[in-house]
Amino acid sequence: MIEFVAEESVTVFQDPTKNWEITRRTTQIRKDPLTGIRTRILDYPVRLPDPPDLTDLANQTAGTCPFCPPRVTEVTPKYLPEVCPEGRFRRGGAVLFPNMFPYDENSAVAIFSPEHYVPLSRLTAGYLMDGFLTAQDYARALERANPEGTRYFSLNWNYLPVAGASIIHPHYQIVAGHEPTNFHEILLRSSARFYEAHRVPYWPNWIAVEKEKGDRYLGRTGTVDWAVAYAPRGLIEVIGVVEDCARVEDMTEERWSDLAAGLERLFRYFAEKRFHGFNLALFSGLESDREHYRLQVRVVPRVILSAIGTNEVNYFKMLHEECLTMMRPEETAAEMRRAFA
Ligand SMILES: [Zn+2]
């Protein structure tokens, strides 16, 4: 029912580093078992440069940061009173407000805390929780305001400039319009197609298969199962799937806390491996996806590949929509599993 397909492609050449010996190198082309999206696993050992020291940049930008207090309440937009009487959604140190330069009709920005620069190792479950609960408040407010509306809700985070952030201060963005993004659509459609074909939802079955195989499964934090993707869409892709929950509106404090607990472990591992940043996206389903879909978070670490600043996103990703990685998912999972133990 769930198949892990891989094609091997072998290159033979005379190797200048081995006195022109005949050498073979294997590229593995994998297909994601649900979406069929390809990833190439390269036989290309790399040594990643150390992460840049952002202390100076953090100090230089703190004085003008729009997300630091008191500016966060002075320069960020406010909601109309019928959406949010207080103007902005707040929980503890988290603040959520409209995106001044929106991506869609419902487009929000939020900070987790007033702290300007937070290194990877300090992105703990406690740090994340206020931000997540604020996102839940926003999702529920949207539902109250327009219960019949179609909203493809995603919570997205570019952590640090290497991952696309324009501001050091950690912040996430919510996009919840009536039109999905390309991948959001692929995810929900392939999940629905699997259900139509097999009359069982893909997600609990995928987790059961990964658990049984054991070489990519990471562990469970409460109601959330974690595994490394077979065909990652980055150097590594980690997927956390929430049990029996398809929509963000159905998330509870307990489920957010389980999700945050897993992310804390993941970020601790990223910090140990000295990754430079990450992209994170949480994809919600619609009401009509309840049977076949499970709400999930996907995280890919980001790095600069060389001392000259080589970007890991190149023509493969930009123009072929195909991912490359030099890290074998099973080897990564073996290391990462210790963080989840
Ligand atoms: Zn700041």
Q: Residue 341: pLDDT band by 50, 70, 90 thresholds?
A: confident
Residue 82 binned pLDDT confidence (cut-offs 50, 70, 90): confident
Q: Residue 242's closest CA among 221, 264, 263?
A: 221
Report, as an integer, the average pLDDT of 307-335.
95
Q: How far is the CA of 278 from the centre of ligand 1 (A)?
A: 19
Give yes or no for a contact between 294 and 288, defined as CB atoms under 8 angstroms apart: no
Amino acid 60: pLDDT:
97
Residue with the bigger pLDDT between 116 and 306: it is 116
Look over the chain and give the mean of its residue pLDDT values, rounded to a whole number: 96
Q: Are 178 and 152 in contact (CB under 8 A)?
A: yes
CA distance 38 to 53: 34
Model pLDDT, residue 285: 98
Query: How many whole angstroms separate alpha carbon 236 and alpha carbon 272?
Result: 15
Amino acid at 223: T
Nearest CA-CA partner of 224 in 94, 91, 340: 340
- Please state, in angstroms and rounded to a whole number, the distance separating the CA atoms of residues 332 and 327: 7
Q: What pLDDT shows up at residue 271? A: 96
Residue with tokens 């994340």: 128
How far is ligand 1, taken at its centre, from the CA of residue 137, in Å?
23
**To the nearest whole percent, how much of the chain has pLDDT over 70?**
100
pLDDT value for 53: 92
Fold of 64-311+327-340: HIT family, subunit A (3.30.428)
Q: How far is the CA of 188 from the centre of ligand 1 (A)?
A: 35
> Ligand 1: distance of its center to the CA of 92 in Å?
16
Which 8-state DSSP code applies to residue 73?
G
Structure tokens at 140: 């529920």
DSSP state of 103: S
Backbone CA torsion sign across 270, 294, 321, 335: positive
* pLDDT at position 46 over 90: no
Q: What is the average pLDDT across 275-291?
A: 97
CA of 69 to the centre of ligand 1 (A): 8
Domain boundaries, the chain: 64-311+327-340
Nearest Cα to 88, choosing from 69, 103, 104?
69
CA of 173 to the centre of ligand 1 (A): 16
Of 3-7, 48-52, 84-88, least confident by mean pLDDT is 48-52
- pLDDT classification of 47: cutoffs 50, 70, 90: confident
- C-alpha pair distances (Å), 325 with each of 34, 141, 201, 291: 19, 40, 29, 33
Strands 38-41 and 323-325: parallel
Residues 6+ apart with CB under 8 A from 240: 224, 225, 226, 259, 262, 263, 296, 297, 298, 299
How many angstroms separate the alpha carbon of residue 241 from the centre of ligand 1? Answer: 31
**pLDDT top residue among 235 and 341:** 235
Residue 117 Cα to ligand 1 midpoint, Å, equals: 7
Distance 63 CA to ligand 1 centre (A): 8
75 φ/ψ angles, rounded to the nearest 5 degrees: -115, -5
Residue that the structure tokens 């890290």 belong to:
327
What pLDDT digit, counting tens, does each position of 134-149 carry? 999 999 999 999 999 9
Does the pLDDT value for residue 33 go beyond 90? Answer: yes
CA 4 to ligand 1 center in whole angstroms: 44
